[in-house]
Amino acid sequence: MPLQSFFYRKPLKELMKHAEGHTLKRTLGRTNLIMLGIGAIIGAGLFVRTAAAAGGHAGPAVTLSFVIAALGCAFAGLCYAEFASMIPIAGSAYTYAYATMGELVAWIMGWALVLEYALGAATVAIAWSEYLNNLLGGVIPYEWCHSPFEHYVKRIGEGGTELMVSVSKVLPSDVIMNHGVMNLPALLVLLGISALLIKGTQESAVVNAIIVFIKVAIALVFIVVGWQFINPANHTPYIIPENTPGYEGFWKHGWPGIVTGAGIVFFAFIGFDAVSTAAQEAKNPEKDMPVGILGSLVICTILYILFSHVLTGVAPYTDFVKAGKEASVAYAIQHYMHGYSWLGTAVTVAILAGFSSVILVMLMGQSRVFYSMSKDGLLPKVFSDLHKTFHTPYKSNIILFVFVGAFAAFVPGEVAGDLTSIGTLFAFVLVSAGVWIMRKTDPHVPRAFKTPLVPLIPILGILVCSMMIVGLPAETRNTAIGWMVVGLVIYISYGYTNARKMRARHKVEREAH
């Protein structure tokens, strides 16, 4: 294996041929792309992360945390926008890495995106199941909404009090243990969304737009209604003072607390990059892709700032230390917005809607990345086979459903942990670096959108996202390294050789013509 072969860069002309012939159907307009971005970004992060950051670190100044996190995303978003307008091909960061840093880095990028998209979809599906059962009052039996690796015990004769007890302990005679069998709701929502994606991108975009309307409308209702319940005293002081009881640590008050809060709420922005995976299905990608990526990011940032301002004004940020978790918004409504209990239920519906659209965009993004990798020979041809009628990578969608569905049905949600985040941040780093590299290697290539202030913007994107990776738990980084080792084994044993054979075959075909 010649060392230079690992760093083979795919020429732009060859990349653009993927957009010709029997390919994905171009059906998405500018509005569709913005809706896809909003659909991927606004999930439970808006309703959960806000309170967690405010209650633990930033206080009312969590609005500034959102601004900082948005700036970090904007650096990467500007780089994504240039690439998406210049290389309107399915594959997103994988394709950009292939054109700038070579095949090996492209494979690593594609493999890392599995952490963001596939495992992200599985984790969100598990959370979707939990919220659905809460909304229905717990009618779904425990064993059918939890994995076989989860259990709970219930003491008989005490009103069904649930107690978490270690499996290794000997259980008293009056205690019974219940094990999960499979997470059926998570599996069903993945099945429904996979079927929708197979049917067509336009249909998926329409459903996503409806979902986006529902969750954004509920968030706006909370902002408008909650504004009249804002207590100015809750915003004073705006930044947590140094000697506030319970906030003595360096990262728990002042500007350090705001920066830490930015790291927490950053993950509420994950998803805008998924818009770039739909480049090959956009009607006018050169002009519409930057609008879709940056437009969705701007809209969500404004919504996040308004939402966090109202939430911390309605309830004291200290309340969220004990009541911040998943029920933070519902808690604020029930305790401080009397007469609007229906809004708490609506928020749960909005969270379910948010989860649904996130799953949809994540699964679509993953199938498009696999589509491009298959076209390059790094994955088997089955991942790029298109349906004769729908023009969607239906076999890839089916395989993804089996893989993601198995994870969601039989593995606890916390196993994925922060792996989704590290995959996303890694993509942001490489895309930021790629724009800088391509300005040097291909300066004369037409760019419908140009990232401003290069190399400053890419450098800032690399630094901010790298710092966030370093800040993730050590076990997450170690697991991600293990995942990459598995990916390299697959690349060396299959992708490397097959990609070379495909390039040789394409060369013969070009010479024959």
pLDDT digits (tens, 9 = 90+) for 305-348: 999 999 999 999 999 887 655 567 878 888 899 899 888 888 88
pLDDT tens for 114-134 read 887 888 888 888 878 887 887
Residue 187: predicted pLDDT = 95
Residue 248 has pLDDT above 70, yes or no: yes
What band does 137 get if pLDDT is binned at 50, 70 and 90? Answer: confident
- The C-alpha atoms of residue 413 and residue 409 are separated, in whole angstroms, by 10
| pLDDT at residue 169 greater than cutoff 70 | no
At 152 the three-state DSSP class reads strand
Scanning the structure block, which residue is given the tokens 């040789």? 504
Q: pLDDT per residue over 61-99, tens digit each?
A: 999 999 988 888 889 889 988 988 888 777 778 888 888
Q: How far apart are CA 404 and CA 370, in angstroms?
A: 14
What's the pLDDT band for 154 if we cut at 50, 70, 90? Answer: low
**166 — pLDDT class (breaks 50, 70, 90):** very low
Which residues have a Cβ under 8 Å from the Cβ of 206 and sit 6 or more positions away? none
pLDDT band at 275 (very low <50, low <70, confident <90, very high): confident
- What's the token pair of residue 392? 């969607």
Cis peptide bond upstream of 141, omega within 30: no
* Residue with the larger pLDDT of the pair 512 and 384: 384
What are 2's two structure tokens? 């010649």
When pLDDT is cut at 50, 70 and 90, the band that residue 163 belongs to is very low
Does residue 396 carry a pLDDT above 80?
yes
In order of start, what are the domains of the chain with their CATH numbers? 3-136+184-512 (1.20.1740.10), 148-179 (no CATH)
Residue of 399, 412, 404, 471 lying closest to 152 (CA atoms): 412
pLDDT given at position 172: 55
pLDDT at 502 over 80: yes
3-state class of 179 per DSSP? strand
Of residues 124 and 198, the one with the higher pLDDT is 198
pLDDT at 134: 75
What's the rounded Cα separation, in Å, for the pair 329 and 275? 28
Sign of CA dihedral 472, 474, 479, 485: positive
Please report the pLDDT score of residue 199 as a whole number.
86
With a pLDDT cut of 70, the percent of the chain lying above it is: 88
Mean predicted confidence (pLDDT) in 197-219: 82
Mean pLDDT on 394-399: 94
3-state secondary structure of 200: coil
Confidence of residue 18 (pLDDT cuts 50, 70, 90): low
- pLDDT score recorded for residue 156: 52
- Which residue matches tokens 């959960």? 48
User: Is the pLDDT assigned to residue 471 strictly greater than 80?
Assistant: no
User: Between these two residues, 360 and 312, which has the higher pLDDT value?
Assistant: 312
Q: Mean of the per-residue pLDDT values for the chain?
A: 83
20 falls in which pLDDT band (50, 70, 90)? low
Would you say the pTM of this structure is higher than 0.85?
Answer: no
Residue 241 vs residue 445, higher pLDDT: 241
Whether the pLDDT of residue 16 is over 80: the answer is no
CA distances from 420 to 77, 276, 358 (A): 18, 17, 13
pLDDT recorded at residue 44? 60
What is the distance, to the nearest Å, from the Cα of residue 315 to the centroid of all Cα atoms in its chain? 28
Q: Quick one: pLDDT at residue 164?
A: 43
Report the distance separating Cα 451 and Cα 40, nearest Å: 23
Task: Tell me the pLDDT band of 232, cut-offs 50, 70 and 90.
Answer: very high
Q: Residue 381: enclosing H or E segment and its boundaries? A: none
Q: In this prediction, what percent of the chain has a pLDDT beyond 90?
A: 27
285-294, 303-312, 399-408: the lowest-pLDDT one: 285-294
What is the average pLDDT across 379-405?
92
